[in-house]
Chain A
């Protein structure tokens, strides 16, 4: 595009984010495009972010006041609890370890992490972005839901259904010494 005039035609309005800069030959870049549906981050984004922080802080503070963090007896290497349980987020791993030590504890989790990283390079189809459960991605969503269900079920089993010697117990028959 070629500049045709280089003088200021309209004075700049300080209350506007746009102004006439210069006149050029050629069609406008905005021709045939709809409104862009944008709003100012101030205050629309800022107020939501502040509200989210307030809610987050309030919930965490309430939890820590009314439900203090657990503290058991001092560590005693001579007195192992039965069963000794990992943190809840690793109970799925512990459950898998009960079936096969290497594959449960390292093999499968390692493959899961590599698999998760590989997802965007395997699923290259450019559809359904920006929508929850897009119809064109039904297969992908179903597979992911399967993965989530497996993760959650394994953690629940480890937390509530495993008693002494990692044997199967129902929560209402759990021996009282198991926390």
Chain B
């Protein structure tokens, strides 16, 4: 490592005449500093700005900021909290932009932007049918940068859905779902479904006409599960057996908490959107990334014949 220990150098602050036994006329602060110097002369050296900055930096980052040798470059990755989940060395093929188009990382970035902008929006938003729409108007009129914040959340969400789908296409076209990465593909499909559900639950929150009627349509689709229970009930069944409950109505009720989209639906969608689903999707994202490493990194043409 090229990090050097800075040694104390230069003369310490003068401590007055040496050897003189005359009673001191120094003030209490000077006395204190002299006492500190007698006990630990290096303290003053440690307080010099350059040395202090260097020592603080070195305590946070054990690796040099500008690694030069191969060894330091490896250490820059595996000693770093944020970077250690990635390999210290990577195949040249994996770096080609036209191989992945960065789509997987891009969806992670969009999720990060969504998390940050979403948390900030939570300071303004109120999940109540009386207040929600007014708060949206506030974002566009009275909250500083409110419309930019909402716009970033809106565009990141729409972009994430598209990017996740393109990422899935990339993985398919390059055969990257094949062994040993089969299960990571399954996790990826789950992540796509979670992304769609997150988008859907967030769609209601502005409480405008678009939101209200889109969720009415969506909840209506969930109600179509009645088809299953209706058909089961029309089959011959033993006398006295209770009928299968209407599955679609149950699902719709679970989603909306009522027969129509209203306050109950809003609070359910809100809690799902800001707490439950983000935690679930974060766990799946972390697992997805861990699997990339454990399955041998990103797919490579070296793994199979043409």
Assuming the A-B contacts A42-B77, A53-B109, A130-B304, are A74 and B207 also in contact, with contact meaning beta carbons closer than 8 angstroms in the complex?
A: yes
Q: When the two chains form their complex, are residues B151 and A67 in contact, meaning their CB atoms are under 8 A apart? A: yes
Q: When the two chains form their complex, are residues B193 and A113 in contact, meaning their CB atoms are under 8 A apart? A: yes
Q: When the two chains form their complex, are residues B140 and A137 in contact, meaning their CB atoms are under 8 A apart? A: no
Q: Which of A38, A77, A87, A106 interacts with B92 by CB under 8 Å?
A: A38
Q: When the two chains form their complex, are residues A79 and B199 in contact, meaning their CB atoms are under 8 A apart? A: no
Give chain B residues whose Cβ lies under 8 Å from the Cβ of A90.
Answer: 196, 200, 214, 218, 221
Min distance, Cβ A83 to any Cβ of chain B, angstroms: 9
Q: When the two chains form their complex, are residues B69 and A106 in contact, meaning their CB atoms are under 8 A apart? A: no
Q: Which of B152, B186, B189 interacts with A60 by CB under 8 Å?
A: B152
Question: How many of chain A's residues touch chain B, expressed as a range?
Answer: 35 or more
Does more than half of chain B's interface fall in helix, strand or loop, or is it mixed?
A: helix
Min distance, Cβ A166 to any Cβ of chain B, angstroms: 10
Q: When the two chains form their complex, are residues A130 and B300 in contact, meaning their CB atoms are under 8 A apart? A: yes
Q: Which of B15-23, B51-59, B155-163 contacts A (4 or more CB under 8 A)?
A: B155-163
In angstroms, Cα B302 to Cα A89, docked, is 36
Residue of A whose beta carbon sits closest to that of B1: A14
Assuming the A-B contacts A69-B151, A71-B208, A77-B261, are A134 and B203 also in contact, with contact meaning beta carbons closer than 8 angstroms in the complex?
A: no
Assuming the A-B contacts A57-B113, A127-B175, A127-B305, are A45 and B90 also in contact, with contact meaning beta carbons closer than 8 angstroms in the complex?
A: yes
Q: Which of A1-9, A22-30, A97-105, A167-175 contacts B (4 or more CB under 8 A)?
A: A97-105
The 0/1 profile, CB within 8 Å of A marked 1, for residues 282-297 of chain B is: 0000000000000000
The 0/1 profile, CB within 8 Å of B marked 1, for residues 115-134 of chain A is: 01101110111111111111
The 0/1 profile, CB within 8 Å of A marked 1, for residues 211-243 of chain B is: 111101110011011111000000000000000
Question: How many of chain B's residues touch chain A, expressed as a range?
Answer: 35 or more
Q: Is B177 on the interface with A (CB-CB < 8 A)?
A: yes
Give chain A residues whose Cβ lies under 8 Å from the Cβ of B70.
Answer: 15-17, 40
Q: Is A63 on the interface with B (CB-CB < 8 A)?
A: yes
Q: When the two chains form their complex, are residues A37 and B136 in contact, meaning their CB atoms are under 8 A apart? A: no
Residue of B whose beta carbon sits closest to that of A96: B221
**Number of residue pairs A-B, CB distance < 8 angstroms:** 259
The 0/1 profile, CB within 8 Å of B marked 1, for residues 82-97 of chain A is: 0011111110011001
Q: When the two chains form their complex, are residues A86 and B218 in contact, meaning their CB atoms are under 8 A apart? A: yes
Give chain B residues whose Cβ lies under 8 Å from the Cβ of A44.
Answer: 90, 95
Give chain B residues whose Cβ lies under 8 Å from the Cβ of A176.
Answer: none
In angstroms, Cα B185 to Cα A23, docked, is 43
The 0/1 profile, CB within 8 Å of B marked 1, for residues 35-76 of chain A is: 011111111111011001100110011011101111111111
Q: When the two chains form their complex, are residues A84 and B90 in contact, meaning their CB atoms are under 8 A apart? A: no
Give chain A residues whose Cβ lies under 8 Å from the Cβ of B87.
Answer: 41
Q: When the two chains form their complex, are residues B199 and A123 in contact, meaning their CB atoms are under 8 A apart? A: no
User: For window 167-207 of chain B, which residues contact chain A by CB distance below 8 Å?
Assistant: 168-169, 172-179, 181-183, 185-186, 189, 193, 196, 199-200, 203, 206-207
In angstroms, Cα B212 to Cα A75, docked, is 6
Residue of B whose beta carbon sits closest to that of A76: B209
In angstroms, Cα B218 to Cα A85, docked, is 9
Q: Is A136 on the interface with B (CB-CB < 8 A)?
A: yes
Min distance, Cβ B207 to any Cβ of chain A, angstroms: 5
In angstroms, Cα B150 to Cα A128, docked, is 43
Q: Is B73 on the interface with A (CB-CB < 8 A)?
A: yes
Q: When the two chains form their complex, are residues A129 and B225 in contact, meaning their CB atoms are under 8 A apart? A: no
In angstroms, Cα B24 to Cα A166, docked, is 98
Q: Is A31 on the interface with B (CB-CB < 8 A)?
A: no
Min distance, Cβ B209 to any Cβ of chain A, angstroms: 4
Residue of A whose beta carbon sits closest to that of B149: A64
Assuming the A-B contacts A41-B77, A77-B260, A127-B305, are A60 and B159 also in contact, with contact meaning beta carbons closer than 8 angstroms in the complex?
A: yes
Q: When the two chains form their complex, are residues A15 and B95 in contact, meaning their CB atoms are under 8 A apart? A: no
Q: When the two chains form their complex, are residues B176 and A129 in contact, meaning their CB atoms are under 8 A apart? A: yes
Give chain B residues whose Cβ lies under 8 Å from the Cβ of A38.
Answer: 89-92
Give chain B residues whose Cβ lies under 8 Å from the Cβ of A120.
Answer: 177-179, 181-183, 185-186
Min distance, Cβ A104 to any Cβ of chain B, angstroms: 8
Nearest 5 A/B pairs, CB to CB:
A64-B151, A102-B227, A69-B154, A75-B212, A120-B182
Chain A to chain B contacts (Cβ below 8 Å), 14 pairs: A41-B73, A46-B83, A48-B97, A60-B156, A68-B147, A71-B140, A89-B199, A94-B221, A97-B221, A101-B224, A119-B177, A128-B306, A129-B301, A132-B174
